[in-house]
Structure 1
Amino acid sequence: MEAAKNRKTALVTGGSRGIGRAICVELAAAGYDVVINYRSDEAGARQTLAEVEAAGAAGEICRFDVRDGAAAEQAVADIGARVGGIAVLVNNAGVVADGLFLMMSREKWQSVIDTSLGGFYNLTRPVLETMIPKRAGAIVSISSAASLMANRGQANYSAAKAGINAASRAIAAEVARLGIRVNVVAPGLIETDMIAAAPKEQIKSLIPMARIGRPEEVARVVRFLCSDDASYITGQVISVNGGMF
């Protein structure tokens, strides 16, 4: 992807499907060129790229594992060298490995923490380093309703996402005077592969709006938080959950 004149670049982790794909397309439609990170689903990433380009933006796919700090730092450096810097970072990559805590293996615990919370650190720190000299930038991380309410069987996921909430608030306070905004979006039940096997009719009865959300509804909030319309919003966790709580 060549650096485009008068256009800003967004890096979205976990952009090959679901909420990540919707965010990539929404940011493309809003005028950003988009770097689509993925770990293994190249076909999905290429589909996202096609949708980004159809929205009128330039894009590229970028394969690395967000758990690998060295790979993340190298990717940030390479992207910056090509396009002149990252204006927007969206930390979306995450995994689930559900199970009751007493029966949860260390491997299940660590895999979720390393991807969601470790990935947040691995991308946010080097991207912040590039934003600070420019005194501009927006970072939005995707958390979860599970970070704000009890959800049996998701102690690892809840811990990782709650960590993102707290870290984002602290970082927002640190960099607010430098023109950088840091926020979180916490989706509720959204129609993605992650809930494909869930009892959807039963779930709907727990949601005041009586329906499951769409990835695009999350993506629009992310787009807003990245825009100048949100110029006085930082350190916030915005729930997108149909009124669940």
Structure 2
Amino acid sequence: MEDSGGDSIERKRAVITGVSHNNGIGAAICRELAAKEIDIFFVYWQSEDGFADGFEQEMLDAGVSCRSMELDLALPDAAEKLLDAVYTACGPPDILVNNAAYSTRDGYENLTAEMIDRHYEVNMRTTMLLSTMFARRFQGSEGRIIIMTSGQEQGPMPGELAYIATKGALSAFTLSFSAEAAPLGITVNAVDPGPTDSGWMDEQTKALLEPKFGRGRLGRPRDAARLVAFLAGEEASWITGQVIHSEGGFLRS
């Protein structure tokens, strides 16, 4: 990692996937972890020119070391490539945040094998492989794996069949994998941020969703990021195998 000019105290290192634009949940997670003096390695894909360099500099200015990698997480060997790069550039990581996701609209009339496979490659295969490879290589005493999910068990999400199926699989994976990872000193939890205004909503969508929030506003990227930062910290060392719904009182009816 780039030297931020700080002292020589060994700090925690975090790998965060799905950090591809400034207003996303991934970027917010990086900012919250950097505020806790955790060094950052972020993964992006198909971002605007200059985003990665600019965001790296933002992290350096925040006082932590930072490196990044452009990587298509749909590739079969993406997990291995990523962890190899992290170990080479930075050393062993302590925290893995599986934030990247693939999502398209489908519905029963449009669902195809290609759509299912694309969701599976990014949402399930690489997330599961990253998590298990992280555990196999883990060298520390306290590790954290955090998986972003989507509240699919809270109610139906019509028109997103491939997405909710793959995200639902991650909830099941979180519970069972947490039992295997616990003896290694690694906690495994999932976070459902609910509908979050991270740049994908048009004004019509915002107007439809906002009245459904008990807190009176849409979710913001920092809402999810603060919970992820908590789960990544020492205070959450006794929490594992949980899917935490942090939705601001969102009503699906």
Q: Say yes or no: TM over 0.5.
A: yes
What's the offset of the Cα at 1:198? Answer: 4.9
Number of positions where the alignment pairs a residue of Structure 1 with one of Structure 2: 244
- Say which structure is richer in helix: 1
Partner of 2:42 in structure 1? Answer: 36
Partner amino acid, structure 2, of 1:107: E
Query: For 1:20-99, what aligned pairs fall within 5 Å after superposition?
Result: 20-41=26-47, 43-99=50-106
Aligned partner of residue 16 in structure 1, secondary structure: coil
Q: Which moved more, 1:149-158 or 1:98-107?
A: 98-107
In the alignment, the residues of structure 2 paired with residue 8 and residue 92 of structure 1 have an alpha-carbon distance, to the nearest angstrom, of 18
2:116 pairs, out of 105, 109, 112, with 109
What's the offset of the Cα at 1:74? Answer: 2.5
What's the offset of the Cα at 1:208? Answer: 1.5
Partner amino acid, structure 2, of 1:72: A
Partner amino acid, structure 2, of 1:8: K
1:6 pairs, out of 2, 5, 10, with 10
Partner of 1:144 in structure 2? Answer: 150
Partner of 1:230 in structure 2? Answer: 236
**Structure 2 stretches lacking a partner, 5+ long:** none
Partner amino acid, structure 1, of 2:65: A
**C-alpha spacing 1:147/1:156, structure 2 compared with 1 (3 Å):** farther
Taking structure 1 as the reference length, the TM-score comes to 0.92
Contact persistence 1:24–1:48 (CA under 8 A): no
2:185 pairs, out of 172, 179, 184, with 179
Contact persistence 1:25–1:48 (CA under 8 A): no
What's the offset of the Cα at 1:197? Answer: 5.9
Identity %: 31
What's the offset of the Cα at 1:157? Answer: 1.0
Contact persistence 2:2–2:67 (CA under 8 A): no
1:204 pairs, out of 210, 220, 233, with 210
Taking structure 2 as the reference length, the TM-score comes to 0.90
In the alignment, the residues of structure 2 paired with residue 34 and residue 178 of structure 1 have an alpha-carbon distance, to the nearest angstrom, of 23
**Structure 1 stretches lacking a partner, 5+ long:** none
